[in-house]
Structures are given as C-alpha cells and as structure tokens.
Structure 1
Amino acid sequence: MPVKLSVFLLILATAISGCAVISEADCRSGLWYERGLHDGARGRSQALVYDIAKECQSYEIYVDSEAWLRGHEEGVEQFCTAENGYAQGRQGRKYEGVCTGPTADIFLQNYQRGLADYRVAQQYRDLLWRRDNLERELYSLHRALRHSDSDNQRRALYFQHSRLEWELRMLDLELHRYGLFGPDYFTPGFYPRSFFSSGFFYW
C-alpha cells in the first residue's frame, strides 16, 4: 500500500475514533511507520508510543516501536517549520515540544507569534459577543420603557439604560483599537469614534 494512501487512512481512522489513543483495528493494521509519520506531522510527542503500546497490549498485539519512531522522526521534520509554527499558534493548538535543534527556536518564535494573534482574535470575538448582548439588553429596556406606567419603574429603567449605554461606549472604544475589519485587518483610526454606535454598524 502506498505511504500516502496509508497515512490518509490513518487520518480518517483517527477522526472516526475520536479521542481514543488507538483503536483495535489500527493496532491490527500494523502500519507503525505510517502511524509514526502521521503522529509526528501532528506534533505529537514520542511519549505517545508508550500509550499506543499499552492500548494495543490489551488486544494482545505487539507494537513495532522502532518503526513508529522512524516515521515519527520524519513527521516531526514536516511539523517543525516556521510556517506551521505560526499556523499551530494561530489556531490555538497546544505545542508538545517535539522540535529540536535550530528548528526548535524558529518554530517556537513563530508559534508564539501565532498564539499572540490567536489570543487577540479571541479577545475581539469576546468583545463582539458582549456588544451583541448589550444591544439586546438595550432593545429590551426600550420596550419596557414604552410599556411602563410606573414612575419608579421608569426611573429604574432609565438608570439601567444609562449604565448600559456607558458600557457600550466603553466597549466601542475597545473595539475601535482593532480597526474596521477586526484583528486580521488592524487599521486603527480608519473610522470615526462612535462609529459602532451610529446605528449603521449592527450585527
């Protein structure tokens, strides 16, 4: 069986099996080099082979650890690149420290840069989520004010409305730091202050 086809089948089996270390069918397949290649290219540590061996032992199946380690070493070379380091960080994935030598510093530097961008994007999404909730709360308050006949209740609603509007203005200032199109297109000052509250920018 060609290596590329074997690796594809391993990826498919991993997706189907979910969080299991390895399935009985994979233990019986005997594709230890291909599995090591796949696990190395995913950035999994060498310690994984012990978990695989333990799982397969429960099915009375021997794991060719040497073949797995040969494949793993080759897979790690594919994993430890500057481009992949940034991609792993940008997706918020955990790094298991598999890179060694000069490539380790290059990978880690780009991984940290990607991770920083990931965290900024997370903060931006959290702000958008909070702003959406504030808009909903303000809309509910507008409806309550229109249907309220009690002066005490209206005063309480106006106070709550003022507090939410202030929080919304503060939130807009935070969003303003990310520019018009969010953290991936950071353009500070591209649009005027209070643009988000203008009534045009609703989502």
Structure 2
Amino acid sequence: MKKPIMLSAFVLALAMTGCTTKQPQFNVNDCASADWQNIGIKDGQNGYSAQRILSHQKICQAAGISPNRAAWEEGRQIGLKSYCTKSNAYEMGRRGYELTGVCDHNLEELHHANMMGLQQYEMSQRIHHPYGHGYYGGYPFLPWYFY
C-alpha cells in the first residue's frame, strides 16, 4: 500500500519540477528588433555582469548587427537596482542561490541577508530530506519504513 503512494508522490513531484518557467533565450532573430535597454534591465534584474553583452554580441554577429552597448548598460544599471536589494538577496538565499558579485554598494548588508536566506534554505532542506540526497539518502538500501 505504501509503495504505490510513494511512487505516485514521486511521479507528481517529478512532473511539477518540469513546470518551472524559464526566461526565453535571446536568439539571432531578436537582434534586429531588440530593445537593448529593456534587455539590459532584464539582465541586471537577473544579476548578470557587464560581460553578458559579449554573449549578445556573439549571437547578433551572425546577423551582422551590433548591440547598443550604451543603452544595454543603462538598462542593466536600472535592473541592478532591483537585484541589489536586501529583500532580493534574502529571497535568492531562500531559493538556494548566492548573489553574484555585481552589486557595488551595501555589500555587507546584502551578504548578511543572503546568508540568512541560505540558512533558511539549508534548514528546509534538512527537514524535507532528513537522510540527505543521493542514492536512498546515502544508503545502499531503503530505510526500514519504505518496506
């Protein structure tokens, strides 16, 4: 009786992990009509460094188009204002992510908020996975309560 329930719970959890949304990928067709400031805002909100423009440049090179670096950087700076906040640093930690090194002010406060979020994440992982991850939680056999 327990095995079918556990199996269906596992399948449900596996199916739900496929439902996460991803940001659409930038491709060569987007280069001609690109709003570089808006792309920069999104890149800044996601914590990308100034090197990100190089990947956009590489993609657009195939179409013979060069990105507007000034508009992109202006947008990225706007996006970084929402990325480099204590609330975002904490939420990133709660989801298990560390901040990237793009913020240039309040570093100590942001690091502290991110570490607090990471501690919450680690505690929730311990609660939800008391035997750890891996092959049956690190054991070569199932725990007694699965039989």
Structural mapping, 1:100-179, within 5 Å: 100-101=104-105, 103-127=106-130, 130=137, 133-134=142-143, 135-136=145-146, 139=147
1:77: which partner in 2? Answer: 81
Measured in 1, the distance between the counterparts of 2:92 and 2:30 equals 26
Q: Which has the larger radius of gyration?
A: 1
1:195: which partner in 2? Answer: none
CA contact (8 A) 2:41 2:76 kept: yes
2:23: which partner in 1? Answer: 15
- In the superposition, relative to structure 1, how do residues 89 and 126 fare at CA in structure 2: closer, same or farther (>3 Å)? same
Measured in 2, the distance between the counterparts of 1:78 and 1:116 equals 22
Measured in 2, the distance between the counterparts of 1:47 and 1:126 equals 37
Q: Which runs of 5+ in 1 are unaligned?
A: 1-13, 140-203
State whether structure 2 residue 28 is matched by structure 1 residue 28. no
CA contact (8 A) 2:85 2:110 kept: yes
Task: Could you list the structure 1 runs, at least 4 aligned residues long, displaced by more than 4 angstroms after superposition.
Answer: none
Q: Which runs of 5+ in 2 are unaligned?
A: 1-21
Count of aligned pairs between the two proteins: 117
CA contact (8 A) 1:81 1:106 kept: no
- Report the structure, 1 or 2, having the larger helix content: 1
- The secondary structure found in structure 1 opposite 2:100 is coil
CA deviation map 1:111-155 (0-9, x unaligned): 11111211222222221675xx5211xx3xxxxxxxxxxxxxxxx
Measured in 2, the distance between the counterparts of 1:28 and 1:72 equals 20
38, 45, 50: which one pairs with 1:41?
Answer: 45
- In the superposition, relative to structure 1, how do residues 26 and 94 fare at CA in structure 2: closer, same or farther (>3 Å)? farther
CA contact (8 A) 1:86 1:110 kept: yes
CA contact (8 A) 1:46 1:69 kept: yes
